[in-house]
C-alpha cells in the first residue's frame, strides 16, 4: 500500500520542478517558497525564469504603450 501510494505521488508530481507553471506557482506561494524543491539549484532557476517572464511582460507592455502613443500622435 505504501509503495503504491509513493509511486503514484512520484508519478503525479514528477514534473513539478520542470513545468514553468508549477515551479513559478510554487516559488510565489508564501506557504512553500523554495522549501520543497528536490535540489538546491531548482529554486534559483525558478526565480530566474520568473524574472525573465516579468521582464518580457514589462517590455511587451512598454511597446504597447509606445504604439498607443504613436497612434495618438498620428490621429
Domain boundaries, the chain: 2-74
What is Dmax (Cα atoms) for the chain? 70
CB atoms within 10 A of CB 21: 9
C-alpha cell at 34: 523554495
pLDDT at 31: 92
| pTM for the whole structure | 0.66
What tens digit of pLDDT does each residue of 16-28 get? 788 888 888 988 9
What tens digit of pLDDT does each residue of 36-57 get? 888 888 889 899 999 999 999 9
Nearest to 13 by CA among 57, 66, 32: 32
Rg (CA), the chain: 19
C-alpha cell at 70: 504613436
Amino acid at each position: 500500500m505504501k509503495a503504491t501510494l509513493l509511486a503514484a505521488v512520484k508519478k503525479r508530481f514528477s514534473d513539478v520542478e520542470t513545468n514553468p507553471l508549477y515551479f513559478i506557482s510554487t516559488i510565489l506561494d508564501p506557504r512553500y517558497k523554495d522549501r520543497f524543491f528536490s535540489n538546491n539549484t531548482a529554486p534559483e532557476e525558478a526565480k530566474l525564469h520568473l524574472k525573465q517572464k516579468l521582464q518580457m511582460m514589462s517590455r511587451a507592455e512598454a511597446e504597447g504603450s509606445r504604439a498607443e502613443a504613436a497612434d495618438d500622435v498620428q490621429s
